[in-house]
Amino acid sequence: MPLKKGLFIKPNLSLEGEECHGSNVSIVCPHCKKTQLVFTVRENLFICPLCGHYLNISARERINMIADKDSFEEILVGISSKNLISFPGYDEKLEKSKNESGETEGVVTGTCRIGGIGCAIFVMEALFLMGSMGTVVGDKITCLFEYAVEHRFPVVGFTVSGGARMQEGILSLMQMAKTSGAVKKHGDAGLFYLTVLTNPTTGGVTASFAMQGDVIISEPGALIAFAGPRVIKQTMRQKLPEGFQRAEFLLEKGFVDSIVERKDQKNIIAMLLGCHVKEKL
């Protein structure tokens, strides 16, 4: 059974959105094109066991993978965008995204413990309009940082995004300034912010809170860009360097501090929190 869009896995849902029991659902790896069981891929942290390709993970799966068991408490729940500028087809897209992702918006926010250390956490949801940032995503990120300042929490954020949400026009663009202001206030309060960039992190999210972490780590091979390589290639009419805008390229240029494999992420994040957090909440 081919995976819808060839990329994403939602826990406890079949690829048509029906209940399944894990092992009876297969997916096609978008890189090597081989079919595998979802169960096998999940056991392997959503990395293709045949070619090592990093598959996208739903926000909830990611939280399960990173947070200490039963420590996640969601905040800013049930908020969803409205079609504020009457953009054609946006209402239908919102509805479809809600059904596909099981979320009400493109980011999940809350608090948890990682390696025993309390933190605020946000994880963007690729299945919801490709994690694009509209007013509600901007609001949730901003409120999470304000909450973190109030409660002296560090923030850990996982990004995956196609950028600003075009269906909300200029209102989506102003989220870049709003979230950046909230990150700045959090930093001014002496609190630690760690970002983990996953594939793809692009556009207005890259140009705001994704790249404002005190430490920025990335998953291997992640596309991290403002404008994507195809747009740049068409505009510049030049051949782009090998691996352009991939995590490894950005590490070499100093935009990313480290590339961390999925199996090591929890330990590395816990270690970084331990180094930077004075108050063990």
Site residues, Zn ion (CB under 5 A): 29, 31-32, 48, 50-51, 53
Q: Cβ 238 to Zn ion, closest distance in Å?
A: 31
What residue type is assigned to position 99 of the chain?
N
Q: How far is the CB of 14 from Zn ion (least distance, A)?
A: 20
Quote the least distance from Cβ 105 to Zn ion, whole Å: 30
Which CB, 31 or 185, lies closer to Zn ion?
31
Q: How far is the CB of 27 from Zn ion (least distance, A)?
A: 10
Least separation, in Å, of the C-beta of 36 and Zn ion? Answer: 8
Nearer to Zn ion, 165 or 246 (CB): 246
Which one, 47 or 126, has the nearer CB to Zn ion? 47
Whichever of 3 and 211 has its CB closer to Zn ion, that residue is: 3
Question: 42 or 53, CB closer to Zn ion?
Answer: 53
